[in-house]
Amino acid sequence: MAIHASIILDSGYLSGSYDRFTHDFRDVGYFQCAENCGNVRVYADGTEIAHPRLELGTGNRIIEVVHKSPLDSRRTGITDSPQLMSSLLAMSMLYPGETAAADWDRFDYRIRFYSGRFRPSMVKPRRFKEHRLGTGSSNPAVRNDVGTIAHDIVVDYYLECGDVLTIEANGNKIWSSESAGSNCRKLDIEFLADDSTALKFFCERLEQNKDCYWIPNQGNPPPAIGP
């Protein structure tokens, strides 16, 4: 039976729409979380798989997600859901009429995809607040309501019998779907982005230095339990 595997990106910076005639991959820029937070969590049929903390690296390291066939060949082909691009935050929504391009060399690492179906997730309204990087001060009173945007991106795979999904760096396998066992039918691989990455994603990665930046206002309430 096939395994449905989903990679959930908690944040990230996409290299734009996929064009198979120009590139055979899509990069997503990412930053490592703080030391007290893991970078990746893996769930097999709803139960977390214990594994060592995955140090994904710094210095714009390439982290490859590879869907392999039983013959160990790499499967290719990226597709986007019809809602993906219209659901993503465009930097022009924060800086209309300005250039707000990313400096790709500033990312800790790039997640490189050769296949998978990209779709938006957690699509809801979001507000941004003004932040001065030089002083480290934020002003929630100065706000920018960007409307309804995706807060996560999900990349779906269907692993047929003998297929394997791996995470690799420099040609070395650092995680494999084989660790979930032969009875697994649903895999969720979460690439996390904690609060420590917010300034990196929305200030430090930009090519152009600015006096003021827009950063996401905190306030995504987590689930809770009580008496």
The full length of the chain comes to 227
Q: Are strands 77-80 and 115-132 parallel, antiparallel or unpaired?
A: parallel
State which H helix or E strand residue 141 sits in.
strand 137-159
The tens digit of pLDDT for each residue in 172-190 reads: 998 999 988 888 999 999 9
Tokens linked to 149: 């945007």
Residue 128 and residue 142: Cα distance in Å, rounded?
A: 8
pLDDT bucket at 224, cuts 50 / 70 / 90: confident
State which H helix or E strand residue 84 sits in.
helix 84-87
The tens digit of pLDDT for each residue in 56-97 reads: 878 889 999 999 999 888 999 999 999 999 999 999 899 988
pLDDT of residue 20: 62
Residue 100 and residue 90: Cα distance in Å, rounded?
A: 10
Q: In the chain, what is the greatest distance between 2 CA atoms, to the nearest angstrom?
A: 57
Tokens linked to 110: 């790039």
* Predicted TM-score (pTM) above 0.85: yes
DSSP tag of 217: P
40 has a pLDDT exceeding 80: yes
CB 158 within 8 A of CB 2: yes
180 dihedral zone (left: phi>0; alpha: psi -120 to 50; beta): alpha
Number of Cβ atoms within 10 Å of the Cβ of 83? 12
- Higher-confidence position of 34 and 208: 34
Q: Is the dihedral of CA 15, 38, 57, 167 positive or negative?
A: negative
Residues near 77 by Cβ (< 8 Å), separated by ≥ 6?
A: 20, 115
pLDDT bucket at 166, cuts 50 / 70 / 90: very high
